[in-house]
Amino acid sequence: MDDRVVISGIGSVTPLGITTRQTWAGLLAGRSGVDRISLFDPSDLPTRIAAEVRGFDAGAYLAPKQANRTSRTSQFAVVAAREAIRDAGLPSDLSETEAAVILNSAVSGFAEVQEATEAFHSGGTRRISPRFVPSSLTNMPACEIAIDLGVHGPVNASALACASGAHALVEARRLVLSGDADVVLAGGADASITPVMFAGLSAMRALSRRNDSPAEASRPFDADRDGFVFGEGAVVMVVERLSRAQARGATGYAEILGGALTSDAFNIVAPEPSGRYATRAITRALRAARLDPGDVDLVCAHGTSTRANDRTETAALRQALGAAADDVAVSAPKSMVGHLIGAAGAVAGLVCALAISEGVIPPTLNYTTPDPDCDLDYVPGCAREQSVRHAFTNAFGFGGQNCVVAFGAI
């Protein structure tokens, strides 16, 4: 029985573009998607920059009724899902396919709750839209994909903070191997660049305050990092058995070899300082993938650009990979797209899949001043042409949720 599960299609909406090829080209060029916030006036906030999806017009992609009823998160998710099935060579109507959707999110609905709250306080109950509740629920992006594409199999949405998007890929593989679905649309989406979100994160001092140099604000593993850059977007992948993809002529990008989840059980925000439970997630993922540390060519890092996270992730990589850590390329896409929260792990999956498929690794932008605690090969500045046979991605979320996914060449 074929137990090889692959990514056969990828769709994305990110701060670097509204297609996967635009996003990938931006990543390889080392282009930053960070700029001053345009979705609202940020003048009164300590942080006034974000990684927005600029120029996105829902009406250009969705019918008027669909665009009006859906949240920005759902709009991104549907557009990405459509691209993913086109890329995989699947029909736009999946009603005759044993298909499923696992589209995870971390803060989906936050913007809609803020908007409705403001409307209520300014005009009472009559100002609340009948679309408010359904558009604000965490499972709505997944359900909107199902409605749009005619998916009648399992439709799930889980929230694992910043590990959400990576977790979707692990669950998609399990769903395919269990026989519950032949095709799974899996990934993550979030779009919550709002005044209240930024006020809250600023109160935590989690965000970079490099307002005068937005493109230099997200600097994972650099000694002068001062916080992460909040972003928005969606990445959706088609996950299926290799034999099924090949039967219709789909080439595919990479195999999902396995994954693992652990919990720090330490703090709702800060990582466990020693990195032992992140290390455990990496070790278990490699074991599930039947890989030794020396087999790994690339790590797509969580790399948030916060002091504690980058230090802890480096320590976890050294503990898990041992001497092999010095020979592994570590790429941090958040340096260019910012932190897409629930979609972040899916962006990292995109990087692993395309790096394996195309033999080139995106750089880590803004790594200019080495930090003694962050001393790995972060592929600084420029993309690197290199054969990548095996890769894994780290995703470490608030609450201490660690998810690691391993990938291999087809």
Residues 6+ apart with CB under 8 A from 335: 32, 218, 219, 220, 303, 305, 363, 364, 365, 366, 367
Q: Which listed residue (143, 167, 300, 339) is catalytic?
A: 339
Given the residues 143, 300, 302, 374, select the one marked as catalytic. 302
Q: Is 162 a catalytic residue?
A: yes
Q: Which two tokens stand for residue 269?
A: 């925000």
Instruction: Report the DSSP beta bridge partners of residue 17.
Output: 14
- Upper half-sphere CA count for residue 108 (Cβ side, 13 Å): 37
Kindly report the CA angle at 17 between 11 and 18, in degrees rounded to 5? 45
CA 216 to centroid of chain Cα atoms:
21
**Among 359, 352, 315, which Cα is nearest to 332's?**
352
The three-class DSSP label of residue 293 is helix
Residue 302 annotated as catalytic: yes
In the set 162, 300, 374, 403, the catalytic residue is: 162
Please tell me the distance from the alpha carbon of residue 341 to that of residue 169, in angstroms, as a whole number: 15
390 is catalytic: no
Nearest to 390 by CA among 239, 257, 224: 257
Question: Under a CB-based contact definition with an 8 Å cutoff, are residues 141 and 191 in contact?
Answer: no
Determine whether 119 is exposed, middle or buried from the number of CB atoms within 10 Å of its CB (0-12, 13-18, 19+). Answer: middle
**Residues annotated as catalytic (active site), given as ranges:** 162, 302, 339
